Amino acid sequence: MFWHLPSVPAKSPAAKGCFPEDNPLQKRMLAPQQVEKIGIGFLILISLITVLPIILIVVYIFIQGAPAFSWEFLTSMPSNGMKSGGLWPAIIGTFYLTLGTAIFSVPLGIAAAVYIAEYAPNNQWTRLIRIAIINLAGIPSVVYGLFGLGLFVVFLKFGTSILAASLTLSIMTLPVIISTTEEALRSVPTSFRVISVSLGATRWQTIWKIVLPQAVPGILTGVILGLERAAGETAPILFTGAAFFLPRLPQSPFDATMALPYHLFVISTQVPGMPIQIQYGTVLVLLFFVLGMNLAATTIRSRARAKRQW
């Protein structure tokens, strides 16, 4: 019996409670095993309350959105004040914005992560970089919108454009890409680096030829999750590049564009008398987008884990 072990000094006030007759656990109405059963049941209940709505949401959107869903709905222009027709310009717009975000944020984010994981000395400056990244991650998305409006739209005179919106979204996505890439780089064993350097490779050669290739799946997962978030955001593009309605597709990076999430916001709150089917259809398309990227990220991650030999 564990209370006979001499681990508790006899003089400490807690010692008394360690003898069987005073054991607080035994004075309770319930045995520890019963408490455990109730406690675990409670945790299972809480987890169910957390995840059931998620399942319900996904299933509900599928059921409600399926009737509106067709090839035509995806590839035709909206008509009749968006009350009929399709989503083509919004889909293309979201594609352009995601692409633009990727062009700016992926190289920059990976390079920044390489610096932090491989080069940065352990000093105050590095600590400051970390605080800056954590801060970027926490800044509300609408504040990014304000910043993009101030810097890209007004100060640099890009106007409300795909370029301004993509740059705004890139800075917002940066912390996600940096932190996941850093984690991926750190998970590459140190011995890889030691061997590479001992064979005469320079630090950069080691990183470029050995460490980065090993970290690719982890980086890719992070990039996809970051871009997924950027693609679904509305607040940062509200005043930097989103258009209420455009009769044609954007022709250059300096054009404003329609985007799926903003389009959903518009048709669900700004246009009265919008057919409910089109609204649910739009949600379904957005959901497909998100689930598709999520699936891609998880597949890459689990495949890489299965193949990894270290």
CB nearer to another protein: pick between 99 and 134:
134
Nearest approach, Cβ of 201 to another protein (angstroms)? 9
CB nearer to another protein: pick between 47 and 84:
47
CB nearer to another protein: pick between 50 and 252:
50
Nearest approach, Cβ of 85 to another protein (angstroms)? 19
Nearest approach, Cβ of 240 to another protein (angstroms)? 10
CB nearer to another protein: pick between 54 and 306:
54
Nearest approach, Cβ of 148 to another protein (angstroms)? 9
Nearest approach, Cβ of 101 to another protein (angstroms)? 14
CB nearer to another protein: pick between 162 and 297:
297
Instruction: Centre a 10 Å sphere on the Cβ of residue 38 and count the other Cβ atoms it contains.
Output: 10
Rg (the chain; Cα; Å): 27
